[in-house]
Chains A and B, each alone.
Chain A
Amino acid sequence: MSDLILDVRGLHKSFRLSAKQQKIEKTKQKVKVAVNDLSFTAHRGEIFGLLGPNGAGKTTTLRMLATLIRPDAGDALVDGASIVKEPERVRERIGFLTSELKLEDCFTPNYLYDFFSHLHQVPAEVRGVRKQALFSRFGIDRFAEVKVADLSTGMKQKVSLVISIVHDPDIIIFDEPTNGLDVITAKVVTDFLQELRGRGKTVLVSTHIFSLVEKLCDRVGVIIDGAMALCGTLDEVCQGKSLEDRFFDLYVERMGEDA
Chain B
Amino acid sequence: MKGGMLTIFRKELARFFGDKRTALATILLPGLLIFAVYTFMGSALSSQFSVDEDFVPAVQAVNLPGSVSALAGQAGLDIQPAQDVEAAKALIQEEELDLLAVFPPDFDGQVAGYDVTSGAPAPAVELYYNSASVNSSAAYAQMAALLEGYETSLSNKFDVNPGDGTTYDLATQADTAGTLMSSMMPMLLMIFLFSGCMAAAPESIAGEKERGTIATLLITPLRRRDLALGKICALSIIALLSGLSSTIGTLLSMPTLMQMEGGVGAAYTPVHYLALCLIILSTVLFIVACISLISAFARTIKEAQTYVTPLMILAMVVGVTAMFGGGASPHLWAYFIPFYNSVQAMAGLFALELNWTHLLLTVGCNLAYTALGVWGLTRMFNSEKVMFQR
Name A residues whose Cβ lies closer than 8 Å to a Cβ of B: 18, 21, 66-70, 88-89, 91-92, 94, 96, 100-107, 111, 115-116, 118-121, 163
Contacts and interface: CB of A to CB of B under 8 A. Distances in A.
Interface in B1-43: 1, 3-4, 7, 11, 14-15, 18-19
23 contacts: A66-B219, A68-B215, A68-B387, A68-B388, A69-B384, A69-B388, A88-B221, A88-B223, A101-B212, A101-B219, A102-B213, A103-B216, A104-B211, A104-B213, A106-B15, A106-B19, A107-B14, A107-B15, A115-B11, A119-B4, A121-B1, A121-B3, A121-B221
A69 to B, nearest CB: 4
B18 A106 contact: yes
A78 to B, nearest CB: 12
Nearest to A118: B7
A163 B217 CA distance: 11
A103 B213 contact: yes
Contact of B390 (A21, A94, A105): A21
A34 to B, nearest CB: 12
Contacts of B220: 91, 116, 119-120
Interface residues of B, number: 26
Main secondary structure of the interface of A (DSSP, over half): loop
A152 B323 CA distance: 57
A102 B211 contact: yes
B221 A92 contact: yes
Contacts of B211: 102, 104-105
B177 to A, nearest CB: 44
Contacts, number: 65
A69 B386 CA distance: 11
Given A118-B3, A121-B3, 20 more contacts: A68-B215, A68-B384, A68-B388, A69-B388, A91-B221, A92-B221, A100-B212, A100-B215, A101-B215, A102-B212, A102-B215, A104-B213, A105-B211, A106-B18, A107-B14, A115-B11, A118-B7, A119-B7, A119-B217, A121-B221
Nearest to A114: B7
Contacts of A91: 219-221
B221 to A, nearest CB: 5
Contact of A115 (B7, B218, B387): B7
Contacts of B218: 68
B72 interface: no
Contacts of A96: 219
Interface string B44-82: 000000000000000000000000000000000000000
A68 B3 contact: no
B222 interface: yes
Contact of B222 (A18, A94, A104, A119): A119
Main secondary structure of the interface of B (DSSP, over half): helix
B14 A68 contact: no
A102 B207 CA distance: 12
Interface string B185-228: 00000000000000000000000100111011111111100000
Given A91-B220, A119-B7, A119-B217, A70 B384 contact: yes
B221 A101 contact: no
Contacts of B7: 115, 118-119
A8 B218 CA distance: 21
Interface string B287-323: 0000000000000000000000000000000000000
Nearest to B389: A18
Contacts of A18: 390
Contacts of B3: 118, 121
A119 B217 CA distance: 9
B221 A111 contact: no
A68 B219 contact: yes
Nearest to B387: A68
B225 to A, nearest CB: 12
A251 B3 CA distance: 50
Contacts of B219: 66-68, 91, 94, 96, 101
A105 B215 CA distance: 15
- The residue among A69, A91, A101, A163 with the most chain B CB atoms within 10 A of its own CB is A101
A178 B109 CA distance: 109
A89 B212 CA distance: 23
Contacts of A104: 15, 208, 211, 213
**What are the 7 tightest A-B residue pairs by CB atom distance, in nearest-first order?**
A102-B212, A119-B220, A69-B384, A118-B7, A101-B216, A91-B221, A92-B221
A185 B388 CA distance: 29
- The residue among B1, B4, B11, B220 with the most chain A CB atoms within 10 A of its own CB is B220
Contacts of A103: 213, 216
B25 to A, nearest CB: 15
B221 A119 contact: yes
B223 A102 contact: no
Contacts of A69: 384, 388
Contacts of A68: 215, 218-219, 384, 387-388
Nearest to A104: B213
A154 B1 CA distance: 35
A106 B17 CA distance: 11
A88 B224 CA distance: 10
Contacts of A94: 219
A171 to B, nearest CB: 12
Nearest to A21: B390
B59 to A, nearest CB: 69
- The residue among B7, B212, B216 with the most chain A CB atoms within 10 A of its own CB is B216
Contacts of A118: 3-4, 7
